[in-house]
Structure 1
Amino acid sequence: MTIRPRRSVLYMPGSNARALDKAKTLATDAVILDLEDSVAPDAKEVARAQVVAAVTAGGFGSREVVIRINGLAGPWGRADLAAAGAAAPDAILIPKVSTAADVFEAGAILDALGVPERVAIWAMFETPLAVLNAGAIAAARHETAGRRLTVMVLGTNDLAKETRARFVPGRAPMLPWLAIALAAARAHGLEVIDGVYNNLSDAEGYRLECEQGRDLGMDGKTLIHPNQLAVANEVFSPTAEEVAQGEKIIAAFALPENALKAVISLDGRMVERLHAEMAERTVAIARAIAAIGA
């Protein structure tokens, strides 16, 4: 599986043509061109046309390009999905995925339309039913119609709305749901992107939440403003010390005398082969980030 940094995933409203152009210049690993929450009902069709034109024109460089459509059960979703499929972005984000059937439906439509295999499906995890069905949703990627599923995106605002949980520092009410989503995703080889932080004036709280998401195991964070990019890119990048230690562990297990060992001693502590596997990912993601910078 190709390692791709997703430290920062920035939402940009599809109805704002200037924002779509600006997305091509920002230091974000991925951009979500949004047709759903950030677009008013009377602007849906204009937004769809603008987003398709922007994706078709290209110019996003190394940034991963994702289109978030409206729900398939609503009046715009199917037309959104067909248009997004024709534009062939890197991925299409399906909102309010609550069962595996939602993934299968989107996948079957894309297949019927002949959309290239490289166009992935990302799934929004934002309803109580999604929490209860997390394992089945993530496992959908093993079925033919769900094979495009690669990423799960936490929709914490909608989770709060649907559950009536309060936003409090530390997100204690949501931690069980975040952990469930993360465990389900990892069990089936999916990436996980944390939800947004709403208070743009609270820099300290935002950094703490980025660090919390990183420590939980998230791959990155969805963002609502370009001012949030620098912190997300910093927090979700391996530190120089982590990369150096990872390279040291990899080198130690590569020695002929350690080739068949499950556990070795390194700098006075026991290191297992699983640590070497973790180190390989750390080094790989650091190299991928460096390649973006280059």
Structure 2
Amino acid sequence: MTTARLAPRTALFLPASNPRAIEKARGLGADLVILDLEDAVKQADKVSARVAAVEAVGQGFAASLSAIRINAIDTAEHGEDVAAIAGSSANFAVLPKAESAEEVAQVARALGKPLLVMIETPRGVLGAAEIAAVPGLAGLIIGTNDLAASLRLPPSSGRAQMGVSLQSVVLAARAAGVWALDGVFNKLDDPQGLAAECREGRALGYDGKSLIHPNQIAIAGQAFGPSEAELAEARALVAAATGGAERYDGRMIEAMHVDQARALLDRAMDYAGSDDFLA
């Protein structure tokens, strides 16, 4: 189970080989900054990117939490990544292309810090429940791009064709009490499309969104945070509840609804700056 109570609404991926992007990220206000050593980094730059990532998390990201995505288990860089990140100041490590609980458990033990695991293949989706239950796991991230490719979906396919996979990851995360973060939105010049996909992700039960551009932070943060109307309703419900099943605003409520309202109010806190983010 995760050691954190509040999940990040916004998780920004950026190449660890790009010093300008790293410096800019310190002031962007993403809940979580993920420095990537995997897909975003050229093979020739893997070693220097690892060094840069460790140095960057050591300097911190202001109010943002930090993570480093290591290379996959079956790559030559994986072992050195694990050794470097284990001794770093990163709040989390991110493991891509996870497919078995045994492999994830081995990586988690070697890292000795909270682990976010990416579910990007059919085998990963089918094993998500066992993976989510691994000690030291903080959350699951669905990698929709790789998943769509491994499912052999046509380029014209949408998220509806991954519906079972999307919900399976949320189910696995909820059963284990860990975070569930939605996949990336690829169209950088389509803010309306991003907002719609964020609303869909939240409706499915995801806690937040993986992002690939700074311009996506504000949209995703708003979508995955409660609206003013939701907050007002939650406050009113909590104030009106007296215990047990009772009538409220034309409907029946009980302790479960009060708990949901209080959880919604918790998510209105300043995530990155809250002392409760890492409890």
1:6 aligned to which of 1, 5, 8: 8
1:282 aligned to which of 246, 260, 264: 264
Q: Distance in 2 between matches of 1:134 and 1:9?
A: 20
2:86 counterpart letter in structure 1 = G
Q: Distance in 1 between matches of 2:160 and 2:183?
A: 14
The 3-state SS of whatever aligns with 1:277 is helix
| Partner residue, 1:30 | 32
By how many angstroms is 1:171 displaced?
1.1
By how many angstroms is 1:241 displaced?
1.3
1:29 counterpart letter in structure 2 = D
By how many angstroms is 1:228 displaced?
0.9
The 3-state SS of whatever aligns with 1:106 is helix
* Structural mapping, 1:121-270, within 5 Å: 121-140=115-134, 147-166=135-154, 168=156, 171-253=159-241, 258-259=242-243, 261=244, 263-270=245-252
Check whether the contact 2:64–2:272 (CA below 8 A) recurs between aligned residues: no
Q: Does 1:15 align with 2:14?
A: no
Q: Distance in 1 between matches of 2:205 and 2:54?
A: 33
| Partner residue, 1:98 | 99
Check whether the contact 2:8–2:208 (CA below 8 A) recurs between aligned residues: yes
| Partner residue, 2:277 | none
By how many angstroms is 1:291 displaced?
5.3
Q: Distance in 1 between matches of 2:139 and 2:63?
A: 18
Q: Which runs of 4+ in 1 moved over 6 A?
A: none
- How many residue pairs were aligned? 272
Task: Please tell me the root mean square deviation across aligned C-alpha atoms, in Å.
Answer: 1.6
The 3-state SS of whatever aligns with 1:151 is strand
Percent of aligned pairs sharing the same letter: 39
By how many angstroms is 1:268 displaced?
2.2
1:39 aligned to which of 38, 41, 59: 41
Check whether the contact 2:37–2:46 (CA below 8 A) recurs between aligned residues: yes
Check whether the contact 2:173–2:179 (CA below 8 A) recurs between aligned residues: yes
By how many angstroms is 1:94 displaced?
0.6
Check whether the contact 1:4–1:288 (CA below 8 A) recurs between aligned residues: no
| Partner residue, 2:85 | 84
By how many angstroms is 1:287 displaced?
2.2
Q: Distance in 1 between matches of 2:147 and 2:272?
A: 35
Q: Distance in 1 between matches of 2:261 and 2:272?
A: 16
By how many angstroms is 1:23 displaced?
1.0
Cα distance, 1:28–1:245 mapped onto 2, change above 3 Å: same
Bigger mean CA offset, 35-44 vs 2-11: 2-11
By how many angstroms is 1:166 displaced?
3.5
Check whether the contact 1:3–1:285 (CA below 8 A) recurs between aligned residues: no
Question: Of the two structures, which has the highest relative contact order with CA contacts closer than 8 Å and spacing of 6 or more?
Answer: 2
2:19 counterpart letter in structure 1 = A
| Partner residue, 1:144 | none
* Structural mapping, 1:46-61, within 5 Å: 46-58=48-60, 60-61=61-62
Q: Distance in 2 between matches of 1:88 and 1:27?
A: 19
Check whether the contact 1:14–1:33 (CA below 8 A) recurs between aligned residues: yes
Unmatched 5+ stretches in structure 1: 141-146
Q: Distance in 1 between matches of 2:59 and 2:205?
A: 35
Unmatched 5+ stretches in structure 2: 275-279
TM-score where L is the length of structure 2: 0.93
Check whether the contact 1:182–1:217 (CA below 8 A) recurs between aligned residues: yes
Q: Distance in 1 between matches of 2:37 and 2:175?
A: 30
Normalized per residue, the structure richer in helix is 1
